[in-house]
Structure 1
Amino acid sequence: MALVVDSWAKVAAIENFEAVAGELLFRRIFEINPGAKAFFAFAKEDSDNDIYQSEMFQTHSRAVITTVDAAVGLLKTNNMDTLVSVLRGLGAKHVAMNLEQAHYDLVGQALLDTLAKAVGDDFTDEVKEAWVGVYGVIVANMMEGARSKKERQQQPAETEKRNAKTEMEDAMVELKRITVEKVTQALLNAENKALADQERIQAEVAAELERVKEFKAKRDAQEAAAKAQEAAEKAQEAATNLESVSEDPVEDEQMDESLVRKDLDESDILYNQRSCAQYVMDKLFVRA
């Protein structure tokens, strides 16, 4: 890995290395196999010079070299998981080109030639072997990414329907869960409101009962006061009558005489009652 990283650092040290290395790479690809131009939209021009000067070519070639630079950077940091993910994604992106092993071999040979020209004498056989190994990893992961995408694209319609059905069922389950949560929350809110209303009504009833008690107490006090007033008036009337009686001696004597006469009459009645009882007793004893 160190040989790959160090040799690429020499390429990256070249001014505007993305453009320089990109042009070297594609010139070498088309030198080895001119028919490879059919794979690239920018290569449909009649003149090679027009190809390399076009904005489309420069954009594409820079992107290729930038990808290589990123891959070497991931190798340098030993971030292999990310590197594999990037390479497989790149392979899936190029699946429409129907690239085969021969196409990857063509690009690999052109890359080695480009590195040899850019690095010069430092591109030893040992460095070359290191790049061959790394490029093999790159190709393997790109082809795996393309293969996986093709398989997904070739899935039977029934499988897609099953997947769609599963997604729909999952969506319905999620919708049901959300609905249950909303209904539960609504019921909880209603219950809380009912409890609050009940407490409010109880407070209002208690306040009304208190007002009734106060009203009743006030009414009872008024009635008691009225009765006391009436009793006071009667007492006053009795006192007035008593005063009037005390002021008339003749009338007092007449009242005394009347009372004496009444007592005598009551004594006569008692005497007569005793006489009758004695008479009855006598008769009873005679019969016996």
Structure 2
Amino acid sequence: MSLNVELLEQSFEKVKPRADEFAASFYDNLFAAHPEVKPLFAETNMAKQRKLLLASLVLVVENLRKPEVLEKALKNLGAKHVGYGTVPQHYPAVGEAILTTFEQYLQQDWTPEVKQAWVDAFGAISTLMLDGAKEDYALETV
């Protein structure tokens, strides 16, 4: 699977100056479109959660050219999310919210090519996280 690394890097650079605001908007978008996931965050420190989201996005973008590093990190992240109550059905909601947020922040720079780059990236991220979640779940059921 090949991702458009240049477009992902360039578009992420454009939102970085407003990263904190971007993360807050992501959760606003997620909860507005999918209120069913809000209870998962009932005990969550949202300021810390926003920082974790940004750290994850930075990790992804900075390691796009190092797939082996990225694969391991995303599988670990997926395994961690099992413990938070995340189920596979939550992933499309997160993908939708991330795309909506990028669209809001990139505005005229949210071209069909950039959108496709992020759709592809989120698909790859989800697949690896879900692989990690399955591995973790399999370990717990042994």
- Is the shorter-chain TM-score for this pair beyond 0.5, marking a shared fold? yes
Higher relative contact order (CA 8 A, sep 6+): 2
Higher helix proportion (structure 1 or 2): 1
Counterparts of residues 207-246 of structure 1 (less than 5 Å):
none
Is residue 34 from structure 1 mapped to residue 35 from structure 2 by the alignment?
yes
Q: Residue type matched to 2:9 in 1?
A: V
Residue in structure 1 matching 2:83, options 79, 89, 96: 96
Does the Cα contact within 8 Å between 2:40 and 2:85 map onto a contact in 1?
A: no
Q: Residue type matched to 2:39 in 1?
A: A
Q: Residue type matched to 1:104 in 2?
A: Y
Q: CA deviation at 1:106?
A: 0.2
Residue in structure 2 matching 1:3, options 7, 15, 22: 7
Q: CA deviation at 1:42?
A: 4.1
Q: CA deviation at 1:61?
A: 1.2
Identity across the alignment (%): 28
Cα deviation, 1:233-285, whole Å, max 9, x if unaligned, reads xxxxxxxxxxxxxxxxxxxxxxxxxxxxxxxxxxxxxxxxxxxxxxxxxxxxx
Q: CA deviation at 1:70?
A: 1.4
- Which residue pairs with 1:123 in the alignment? 110
Counterparts of residues 1-288 of structure 1 (less than 5 Å):
1-14=5-18, 17=19, 19-42=20-43, 56-75=45-64, 78-155=65-142
Q: TM-score, normalised by structure 1?
A: 0.46
Q: Residue type matched to 2:29 in 1?
A: R
Q: CA deviation at 1:153?
A: 1.1
Following superposition, which runs of at least 4 residues in structure 1 exceed 4 angstroms of deviation? none
Q: CA deviation at 1:72?
A: 0.4
Cα deviation, 1:58-111, whole Å, max 9, x if unaligned, reads 111111112111110111xx1110000000000111112443332100000000
- Paired residue total: 138
SS in 2 for 1:64: helix
Q: Residue type matched to 2:66 in 1?
A: N
Tell me the distance in 1 between the aligned counterparts of 2:43 and 2:110.
31
SS in 1 for 2:27: helix
What are structure 2's unaligned runs of at least 5 residues?
none
What are structure 1's unaligned runs of at least 5 residues?
44-55, 156-288
* RMSD (CA atoms): 1.3
Q: TM-score, normalised by structure 2?
A: 0.92
